[in-house]
Structures are given as structure tokens and as C-alpha cells.
Amino acid sequence: MSQENVINLADRQAADASECERLSAQLYALMYEWEAVSARQQELERQFVQNDLLVRSGPRKGHALSARRRRDRLAELLELHLRGQYLQRALAWTEQRRNRLLRKQTEFVRGAI
């Protein structure tokens, strides 16, 4: 049997561990972004529900938003909703992939004992 057909299991485990660490970092980044998107979305929803759509800064601070600015905030709310849905799917996929790698690593360790 030639050496090029032999798979070094230690190298494979190191690659899986590296991939698992990368997925963990990606998972935390996605969670951080989802929390920020969710917080902004909740704030915009609150503003619409409570009719609290006021100018937040500048010379018109405290006045009601113009129709254009209200539409802009509504568009932002819809974009945040779509982004939140995407992030939830990405979080689920990333966590599922990481969990598969962790199970694989655990099975390898159990098999080695």
C-alpha cells in the first residue's frame, strides 16, 4: 500500500478541530449581529405601535417625522425583519454543522479508548 493512500487520522482530527473553532467563532458573530438587529427591530416596532415617530436630532428634534422619514423607518423595519430571518437560518445551520463535528470528534475519542 502506498503512503499517498493513507489518511493520517491525527491530521484529520486537527482539521476538524480547526473547523469547529471557526464555526464557533462564526456562531458567536452571528449571535451578536442577530441580537443587534433584534434590538433595533424591537425599538422600531415600539415606535410604530406607540406612535412615537419623532425626529431624534437636529433642529426639528422632537417634532413628528415627515411622511418620507416614516416610510424610511418602515423600510428599515422590514429590512431588519428579513435580515433577522436570514440570521436565524444561518445560526441554525452553523450550530447544526458545529454539533455534527463535535459528535464526530467525541465518537473518535470514544473509539480510541
Tens of pLDDT, residue by residue over 17-39, are 788 889 999 999 999 999 999 99
Q: Does residue 74 form part of some domain?
A: yes
Say what the pTM is.
Answer: 0.73
Q: Does residue 113 form part of some domain?
A: no
**pLDDT, mean of residues 1-25:** 67
Q: What are phi and psi of 32, to 5 degrees?
A: -65, -45
C-alpha triplet 32, 36, 41: angle, nearest 5°: 145
Q: Does residue 99 form part of some domain?
A: yes
First to last CA, the chain: 27
Q: How confident is the model at residue 8 (pLDDT cuts 50, 70, 90)?
A: low
Task: Identify the domain containing residue 15 by its residue range.
Answer: 3-107
**pLDDT, mean of residues 75-93:** 97
What is the pLDDT at residue 36? 97
**What is d(CA 3, CA 33) in angstroms, rounded to the nearest whole number?**
46
**pLDDT, mean of residues 98-102:** 88
What is the pLDDT at residue 12? 57
Q: Does residue 100 form part of some domain?
A: yes
The residue type at 42: Q
- Residue pair 91/34 in contact (Cβ under 8 Å)? The answer is yes
What is the pLDDT at residue 92? 96
Comparison of pLDDT for 45 and 7, the residue scoring more = 45
Count of structural domains within the chain: 1
Q: Does residue 112 form part of some domain?
A: no
Comparison of pLDDT for 98 and 9, the residue scoring more = 98
**What is d(CA 11, CA 21) in angstroms, rounded to the nearest whole number?**
15
Continuous segment of H or E residues that includes residue 81? helix 67-112
3-state secondary structure of 64: strand
